[in-house]
């Protein structure tokens, strides 16, 4: 595998190795009943690959172990297809990866285990139209003669180029923006979507991963380097505003300390004094707290009053901001809340 491809492949795989981006992919694009019952706070990425050497330049895989609300365990095998042309026998190859994964589970856990269900999801981002079957049985002549003894295996094929621009804009998250970039590329629209994500969530790990992937695309000349610079400027502007806000907080703290005005009410005074100074960007301590609550709800579901009170009682803007920026690195809400202790 050449070095440039390795970097590109790694950046793409890193996207879907992020728990929040994985959640967005499954919730937004896999419209199956059981998906509604996944407890994403308990999802675990499995650090293994089953791609054969022959196809390592055209595909990669990401594996997650998830639990439903009733603790049922399911594996989700995501095959990332990079090739622009369609390989009609790809479902057969995917079946091979799944059976190899089962054999690996048996080797790892022993023969006394019950094998878990594995959901085969293939993400295709090529330009060519996929016009072949998703069923292995359709490639086997006279498979029906064997009745129950014939091979029956289907893949869940996610074809990026089958979604309209309006459908993707309606979803409005990192994954849909990625699809827009790869299928219906237009910098103005991507710029608009990134701005919305910045406004709603601020600078998060998923967004950083998306921008890194965009950067690798520009390095590989799949997008114009000037376009990447435009997006980077948008990100840097937001980063600078956040930095200015934190600098203002620290400066105000120092001034109040010097004047002997702390007296247990420091943060309330800071918030009131800074409110007018940063009105243009609408970033206040309360805004940052609310953003953290919104992100916790989005990742872990409805939060209770104890958690809300804990956030409300924390008046350290840096701790709140740190928890908000790193929320997607944690699988348990309790671990996130430790950041504001």
pTM of the predicted structure, to 2 decimals = 0.69
pLDDT at 284 over 70: no
- The backbone torsions φ and ψ at residue 163, rounded to the nearest 5 degrees and listed phi first, read -90, 135
The three-class DSSP label of residue 120 is: strand
> Residue 248: what pLDDT?
46
- How much is the pLDDT for 56? 75
**Of 337, 332, 329, which is closest to residue 311 (Cα–Cα)?**
337
Q: What domains lie within the chain, and their CATH numbers?
A: 3-162 (3.40.1350), 236-340 (no CATH)
Q: Residue 177 and residue 247: Cα distance in Å, rounded?
A: 32
- Predicted local distance difference test score (pLDDT) of residue 24: 96
User: Rounded to whole angstroms, what are the CA distances from 312 to 95, 147, 204, 289?
Assistant: 50, 63, 21, 7
State pLDDT tens for residues 46-73. 999 998 888 777 788 999 999 999 999 9
pLDDT of residue 74: 97
* pLDDT computed for residue 204 by the predictor: 84
Tens of pLDDT, residues 9-36 = 778 889 999 999 999 999 999 999 999 9
What's residue 34's pLDDT? 97
Q: Which residue has the tokens 């800074």?
A: 274
Q: Per-residue pLDDT averaged across 75-83, rounded?
A: 88
- Ranking 145-149, 158-162, 235-239 by mean pLDDT, the lowest is 235-239
Could you report the per-residue pLDDT of 264-278, keeping only the tens digit for each? Answer: 454 554 455 445 444
SS3 content of the chain, % helix, strand, coil (to 5): 60, 10, 25
The predicted pLDDT at position 130 comes to 87
Query: Does 208 have pLDDT greater than 70?
Result: yes
Select the more confidently predicted residue: 135 or 317: 135
The DSSP H or E segment spanning 218 is: helix 205-219
Which range, 22-31, 181-190, 205-214, 286-295, has the best average confidence (pLDDT)? 22-31
Mean pLDDT, residues 147-176 taken together: 93
Cβ atoms of 123 and 80 within 8 Å: the answer is yes
Cβ-based neighbours of 318, under 8 Å, separated by 6 or more? 246, 249
Q: What is the structure's pLDDT at 280?
A: 38
Q: What percent of the chain has pLDDT over 90?
A: 38
Contact 249, 268 (CB under 8 A): no
The pLDDT of residue 244 is above 50? no
Q: What's the pLDDT at 175?
A: 96
Q: Which of 308, 304, 307, 301 shows the shortest CA–CA distance to 286? A: 308
Residue 303 pLDDT greater than 60, yes or no:
yes
- pLDDT value at residue 245: 41
Residue 135: DSSP 8-state: B
Report angle CA 269, 272, 278 to the nearest 5 degrees: 130
What is the token pair recorded at 242?
Answer: 């956040």
Tell me, what's the pLDDT at 222?
65
Helix (H, G, I), strand (E, B) or coil at 112: coil
- Sorting pLDDT into bands at 50, 70 and 90, what band is 189? confident
| pLDDT computed for residue 268 by the predictor | 55
For residue 81, name the pLDDT band (cuts at 50, 70, 90): confident
Most confident of 171-180, 196-205, 236-245, 297-306: 171-180
* Average pLDDT value for the chain: 81
Q: Bigger pLDDT: 78 or 279?
A: 78
Mean pLDDT of 179-187: 82
């Amino acid at each position: 595998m050449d070095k440039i491809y390795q970097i590109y492949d790694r950046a793409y795989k890193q996207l879907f190795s992020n728990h929040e981006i994985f959640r967005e992919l499954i919730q937004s694009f896999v419209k199956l009943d059981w998906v509604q019952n996944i407890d994403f706070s308990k999802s675990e990425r499995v650090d293994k690959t089953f791609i054969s050497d022959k196809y390592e330049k055209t595909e990669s895989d990401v594996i997650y172990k998830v639990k439903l609300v009733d603790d049922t365990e399911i594996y989700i095998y995501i095959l990332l297809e990079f090739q622009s042309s369609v390989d009609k026998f790809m479902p057969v190859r995917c079946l091979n990866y799944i059976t190899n994964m089962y054999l690996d589970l048996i080797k790892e856990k022993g023969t006394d285990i019950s094998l878990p269900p594995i959901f085969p999801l293939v993400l295709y981002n090529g330009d060519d139209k996929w016009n072949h079957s998703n069923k292995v049985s359709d490639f086997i002549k006279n498979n029906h003669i064997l009745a129950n003894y014939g091979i029956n295996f289907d893949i869940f094929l996610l074809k990026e180029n089958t979604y309209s621009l309006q459908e993707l804009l309606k979803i409005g998250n990192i994954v849909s923006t990625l699809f827009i970039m790869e299928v219906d590329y237009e910098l103005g629209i991507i710029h608009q979507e990134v701005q919305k994500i910045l406004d709603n969530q601020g600078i998060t790990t998923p967004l950083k991963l998306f921008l890194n992937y965009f950067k690798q695309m520009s390095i590989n000349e799949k997008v114009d380097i000037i376009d990447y610079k435009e997006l980077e400027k948008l990100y840097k502007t937001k980063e600078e505003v956040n930095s200015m806000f934190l600098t203002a907080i620290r400066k105000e703290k120092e001034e109040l300390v010097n004047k002997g005005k702390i007296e247990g009410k420091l943060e309330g005074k800071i918030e009131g004094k800074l409110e007018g100074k940063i009105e243009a960007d609408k970033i206040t301590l309360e805004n940052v707290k609310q953003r953290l609550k919104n992100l916790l709800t989005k990742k872990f579901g409805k939060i209770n009053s104890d958690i809300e009170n804990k956030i409300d009682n924390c008046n350290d803007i840096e701790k709140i901001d740190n928890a908000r920026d790193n929320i997607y690195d944690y699988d348990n809400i309790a671990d996130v809340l430790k950041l504001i202790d």
